[in-house]
Each structure stands twice: as structure tokens, then as C-alpha cells.
């Protein structure tokens, strides 16, 4: 969805997604990210938010991921295959995992929201 928000000169693109789980074959998961990247590059505005369930565990922030992940990750979790795909997607599209920027109550399932790093206020 492309929308004009009050207080922003440029329009926003908002994408709601649901990623295939790790039970799907690698080709299906690869094609999901290929289609998502294509959608972003062909249709998204400069201001972008991607939100939904990426069906992956991010785990602890690794070296070089400071621009993508904030200090509040579930460091006791091991990064899953989908979590790795999610990190590569974030790095490749200049996106920040917003859920890792602020402290939240611990819960088992957390959907992930992203925005381009320069869009954070």
C-alpha cells in the first residue's frame, strides 16, 4: 500500500507479509524473498515499512549488524535459517528491525517491523 502520511513530504509504502516457515523447501523460501525484493525495488517509495511474520529467529546481534539490529534482541535464541534470510534481506535493503530498537516484554512469538534506517525519527 502506498499512502501519504501527515508530517511527511514523501509518500510511504507499507508492505504486510507472511513468510513461508522453515518446513517449506529452500526454493519456496528463496522465491518469497526474491518476490519481496522485486516488489520493493519496483514499487516502493523512499519511505518504507515492511511488517509481518517472517517465521524466523534472529537471535543475538552479530558483528556488522549494528545498523540493522538494535540492542534488544533475544540473544538466548539461536539464529534460524529464516532468521539468516531475514538479516540478509534487512542488510540488502537498508532496513532496521524496529522490534530490536526498543525494550519489550518477553514473549514467544514476535512479528517483525522494518523501516529504512534514514526514516527513523
Instruction: Give the pLDDT confidence of 14-63 residue by residue, as tens digits.
Output: 999 999 999 999 999 999 999 999 999 999 999 999 999 999 999 999 99
DSSP letters along 16-52, please? EEEPPPTTS-HHHHHHHHHHHHHHHHHH--SEEEEEE
Q: Could you give the CA distance from residue 28 to residue 16 in angstroms, rounded to a whole number?
A: 18
Tell me: pLDDT of 106 over 70: no
Local structure of residue 69 (DSSP, 8 states):
B
User: Which of residues 73 and 80 earns the better pLDDT score?
Assistant: 80
Local structure of residue 119 (DSSP, 8 states):
G
How far, CA to CA in Å, does 46 sit from each of 32, 43, 104?
22, 10, 28
User: Which of residues 106 and 90 earns the better pLDDT score?
Assistant: 90
**Domains in the chain, number:** 1
CA atoms 6, 11, 16, 20: torsion sign: negative
Read off the pLDDT band of 76 (50, 70, 90).
confident
* Structural domain harbouring 54: 2-119
Amino acid at each position: 500500500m502506498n499512502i501519504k502520511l501527515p508530517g511527511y513530504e514523501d509518500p510511504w509504502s507499507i508492505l504486510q507479509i507472511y513468510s513461508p516457515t522453515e518446513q517449506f523447501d529452500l526454493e519456496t523460501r528463496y522465491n518469497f524473498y526474491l518476490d519481496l525484493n522485486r516488489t520493493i525495488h519496483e514499487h516502493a517509495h523512499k519511505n518504507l515499512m515492511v511488517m509481518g511474520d517472517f517465521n524466523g529467529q534472529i537471535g543475538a546481534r552479530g558483528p556488522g549488524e549494528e545498523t540493522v539490529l538494535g540492542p534488544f534482541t533475544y540473544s538466548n535464541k539461536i539464529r534460524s535459517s529464516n532468521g539468516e534470510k531475514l538479516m540478509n534481506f534487512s542488510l540488502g535493503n537498508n532496513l532496521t528491525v524496529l522490534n530490536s530498537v526498543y525494550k519489550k516484554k518477553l514473549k514467544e512469538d514476535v512479528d517483525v517491523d522494518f523501516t529504512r534506517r534514514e526514516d527513523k525519527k
